[in-house]
């Protein structure tokens, strides 16, 4: 058996807190470092059904990508969604740790997993604006093994991520070799990717005017969705934790979560 503080220490090595953006809220958000842990559930989001599963299946800790507490709380009302979720976690004695933008930027984290899943050559993958390290940037840039027709690359992204659907913005008639990416909501980096000479950019949560800007800049954009660009890290993170702890604790990767969006 281990304690929460042991998981916290390992997660600090995997995704150092110094890599988190200033506005973020990673770390132990529910529970105590001294809480004993026998089973850990690794997931993308802490939803009400996640808390219910943790209680029913005797998980003492959840390691999530998205923080269950993001902004300052002014009340804890259990008749409202946030309070109801936190109340359920506290009643069940389930601790929650989050690694958010620090896991996005970390070497081997969310964006490196995304780069691998969409077929980029790992030897070419580097962070935006820093060619010497893979640990200091939210976004990544890399190259495909060989050029692809833009829509064929978009289909490869869809298949590699197991996405139910994607959105494609054409940046012209050119093929795709150099690719920029940022998991989750990374539309803010479209212009940077274009200026770095990327032929295409992969992210989620792209708005209309983001697409308009991309078309004007001449860069293809593939919006594969927030969920699909981040969910792949769950299995990888669970494996890394299992390697660290061996048989001291049971690690389970959540494979039941689904995207909130459906195409009708």
How does pLDDT run across 100-159, given as a tens digit for each residue? 999 999 999 999 999 999 999 999 999 986 544 444 678 999 999 999 999 999 999 999
pLDDT recorded at residue 128: 81
CB atoms inside a 10 Å sphere around CB 227: 19
Asked if residue 44 and residue 23 are part of one domain, the reply reads yes
pLDDT recorded at residue 133: 47
Question: What residues does 222 pair with on adjacent strands?
Answer: 168, 202
Residue 260 maps to a domain = no
Residue 264 maps to a domain = no
**CATH number of the structural domain spanning residue 22:** 3.40.1390.30
Asked if residue 134 and residue 33 are part of one domain, the reply reads no
Asked if residue 132 and residue 64 are part of one domain, the reply reads no
Asked if residue 81 and residue 24 are part of one domain, the reply reads yes
Q: Is 156 helix (H, G, I), strand (E, B) or coil?
A: helix
Distances in whole angstroms, Cα of residue 169 to Cα of each of 11, 32, 115, 197, 219: 37, 46, 19, 17, 8
Asked if residue 150 and residue 219 are part of one domain, the reply reads yes
Asked if residue 123 and residue 29 are part of one domain, the reply reads no
Secondary element (H or E) of residue 193: helix 190-195
Residue 81 maps to a domain = yes
Overall domain count for the chain: 2
pLDDT recorded at residue 134: 45
Asked if residue 120 and residue 213 are part of one domain, the reply reads yes
Asked if residue 94 and residue 121 are part of one domain, the reply reads no
pLDDT recorded at residue 136: 64
Residue 144 maps to a domain = yes
Asked if residue 147 and residue 90 are part of one domain, the reply reads no
pLDDT recorded at residue 168: 98
Asked if residue 83 and residue 40 are part of one domain, the reply reads yes
Asked if residue 95 and residue 166 are part of one domain, the reply reads no
Asked if residue 68 and residue 157 are part of one domain, the reply reads no
Range of the domain at 121: 107-223
pLDDT recorded at residue 130: 52
Residue 133 maps to a domain = yes
DSSP assignments along 4-20, one per residue:
HHHHHHHHHHHS-GGGS
Low-confidence ranges of the chain (pLDDT < 50): 131-135
Residue identified by tokens 């026998």 is: 38
pTM of the model: 0.94
Residue 16 maps to a domain = yes
Residue 24 maps to a domain = yes
Residue 263 maps to a domain = no
């Amino acid at each position: 058996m281990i304690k929460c503080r042991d998981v916290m220490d390992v997660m600090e090595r995997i995704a150092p807190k110094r890599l988190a953006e200033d506005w973020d809220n990673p770390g132990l958000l529910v529970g105590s470092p001294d809480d004993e842990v026998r089973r850990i559930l690794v997931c993308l989001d802490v939803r009400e059904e996640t808390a219910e599963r943790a209680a029913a299946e005797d998980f003492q800790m959840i390691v999530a990508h998205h923080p269950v507490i993001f902004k300052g709380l002014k009340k804890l009302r259990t008749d409202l969604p946030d309070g109801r979720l936190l109340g359920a976690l506290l009643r069940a004695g389930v601790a929650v740790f989050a690694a958010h933008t620090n896991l996005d930027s970390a070497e081997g984290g969310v964006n490196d997993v995304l780069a691998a899943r969409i077929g980029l050559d790992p030897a070419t993958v580097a962070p935006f604006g820093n060619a010497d390290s893979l640990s200091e940037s939210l976004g990544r840039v890399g190259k495909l093994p060989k050029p692809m027709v833009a829509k064929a690359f978009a289909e490869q992204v869809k298949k590699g991520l197991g996405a139910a659907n994607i959105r494609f913005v054409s940046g012209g008639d050119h093929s795709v070799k150099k690719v920029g990416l940022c998991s989750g909501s990374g539309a803010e980096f479209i212009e940077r990717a274009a200026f770095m000479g990327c032929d295409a950019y992969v992210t989620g949560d792209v708005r209309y005017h983001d697409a308009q800007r991309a078309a004007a800049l001449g860069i293809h954009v593939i919006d594969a969705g927030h969920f699909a660009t981040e969910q792949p890290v769950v299995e990888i993170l669970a494996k890394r934790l299992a390697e660290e702890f061996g048989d001291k604790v049971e690690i389970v990767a959540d494979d039941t979560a689904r995207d909130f969006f459906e195409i009708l």
